[in-house]
Amino acid sequence: MSPIDYAAAEADCIQLCQEMIRIPSVNFGEGRGDERAMADYVAAALLEVGIESELIETAPNRVNVVARIAGADLTRPGLVIHGHLDVVPANAEDWSVDPFGGIIKDGFIWGRGAVDMKNMDAMILATVRSWARTGYVPPRNILLVFFADEEAGSVYGSRWLVKNRPELFDGYTEAISEVGGFSVTITGGHRLYLIEGAQKGIRWMKLTAKGDAGHGSFINPANAVTRLSEAITRIGNYEWPQRETKIGGIFFRKIAELTGDKYEPHNVRPLLKHIGTAARMLGATIQNTANPTMLEAGYKANVIPQTASAVVDGRFLPGFEDELVSTIKELAGADIEVELLVHDIALEVDFTGSLVNAMCAAITSEDPEGIPVPYVMSGGTDNKALSDLGIVGYGFSPVKLPEEVDFFPMFHGIDERVPLDGLAFGVRVLDKFLRNC
């Protein structure tokens, strides 16, 4: 087994991450994005060590990068390692540093994408570049994919490739990507590494109320704005029942075990106090959620409009989509039209098998006190698109974090940053995982 020079790989990762942050591959949504420069950079970084790649442009300047690394056992199903090239916008006036400066400050790399997800892109590149330099061959085929458009629905990225180039993924059965493998310190000083094994589904809905138009000075019991307001108030204030999922049950049982607290399948909310600031995101994974997010009605102050509409962001746990839909319709009432705008599936996979064992072993090899545990993610990743091809995906982008770091707000947040030591840890863990998966 060819040894890896971890010091060199870690330095390479830091430089790669800085340089990619300085490429503002911003995705503004509604088709307005540009990953061309980032794709060219990734392709050049691979080619520098002899790894050829294919650049796939799905719309003007919406570019994906695909590369293959042959494994020692060509008969084994392969592994997809994927990241995305785009980032969300950043308002420089809100930041304490240049969001596209990629500077190192206080032991962190700062900038848009430092957490989501140019850090993982850099770890992937640093790892495979170190392999190429030493001639190392991984145990199974590896497909590297750097997708476009993940931050706006993946229309020009994973969904396009799955629909139009499914042959790229022939022979690959498992995948790893973002939003997992990072540490969270809980009550008692226990350091958990959260591996994403489930994702909530999406139902964005438009609610429309109809009524009688009229003069703003008249009494109007059929006011569309009033009807809509009552409906979205009921929805926004509804207390959804807690539901146990397979992955969620494993997570909260572990929290109860480590803290000596009580586990009750239908009331895990008391356990949230043990996970600190992570409770803000993980608290949304014990139930369905539905948040009114947009309103539209009227065109003049003294005119009662005939219609009024609102958008509700609905998220459902694996296995509980029907509950979300029926509850929303009941809360809205018979007079409110409910229209589906955007739909995406929920995901849940087994936290067992050789791939999971390899992830857990790689983490504990670098942090013997670390405790790998699966969790449910409130959002989604490109693993959803790959699941259409039967590929089983996990969130595994390992980073060891200082106890005081509030990591979840870094995703799409102001002053996004990742610790240098955490990146170095991630390179070592990723390499060890890939050598033994």
358 located within any domain: no
Band of pLDDT at residue 2, cut at 50, 70 and 90: low
Burial tier of 262 (Cβ tally within 10 Å: 0-12, 13-18, 19+): exposed
350 located within any domain: no
Last residue of a domain, one of 325, 344, 363: 344
| Two tokens, residue 17 | 């991450």
Question: What's the domain range around 413?
Answer: 6-179+381-435
CB 156 within 8 A of CB 28: no
| 241 Rama class: left (phi>0) / alpha (psi -120 to 50) / beta | beta
Note the pLDDT tens digit of each residue in 284-334: 999 999 999 999 999 999 988 999 999 999 999 999 999 999 999 999 999
193 located within any domain: no
Same domain, 28 and 126: yes
192 located within any domain: no
CB 207 within 8 A of CB 310: yes
- Average pLDDT of the residues in 396-417: 88
For residue 404, the model assigns a pLDDT of 83
Main-chain dihedrals φ then ψ at residue 70, nearest 5 degrees: -70, 140
365 located within any domain: no
Band of pLDDT at residue 410, cut at 50, 70 and 90: confident
Burial tier of 93 (Cβ tally within 10 Å: 0-12, 13-18, 19+): exposed
- Average pLDDT of the residues in 113-124: 96
Note the pLDDT tens digit of each residue in 133-150: 999 999 999 999 999 999
Same domain, 431 and 393: yes
298 located within any domain: yes
CATH code of residue 91:
3.40.630.10
Q: Looking at the predicted structure, is the pLDDT value of residue 228 above 70?
A: yes
Neighbours of 166 (CB within 10 A): 11
Band of pLDDT at residue 409, cut at 50, 70 and 90: confident
Same domain, 173 and 322: no
Same domain, 211 and 122: no
Same domain, 281 and 238: yes
- CA–CA dist 338, 208 (Å, integer): 7
77 located within any domain: yes
Last residue of a domain, one of 315, 344, 373: 344
- Average pLDDT of the residues in 266-278: 94
Point out which residues pair with 172 in neighbouring strands: 78
Same domain, 162 and 257: no
Same domain, 28 and 172: yes
Main-chain dihedrals φ then ψ at residue 264, nearest 5 degrees: -125, 115
Same domain, 278 and 331: yes
Same domain, 234 and 270: yes
- Average pLDDT of the residues in 361-374: 98
- Average pLDDT of the residues in 39-46: 98
Same domain, 236 and 323: yes
Q: Which residues of 298-333 are buried (b: 16+ CB within 10 A; e: fewer)?
A: beeeeebbebbbbbbbbbbbbebbebbbebbeebbe
Same domain, 398 and 321: no
CATH code of residue 274:
3.30.70.360
Same domain, 31 and 136: yes
113/216: higher pLDDT: 113
Band of pLDDT at residue 220, cut at 50, 70 and 90: confident
For residue 271, the model assigns a pLDDT of 97
Kindly report the pTM of this predicted structure.
0.92
For residue 414, the model assigns a pLDDT of 93
Per the structure, how many domains does the chain have?
2
Burial tier of 58 (Cβ tally within 10 Å: 0-12, 13-18, 19+): buried
CB 169 within 8 A of CB 385: no
419 located within any domain: yes
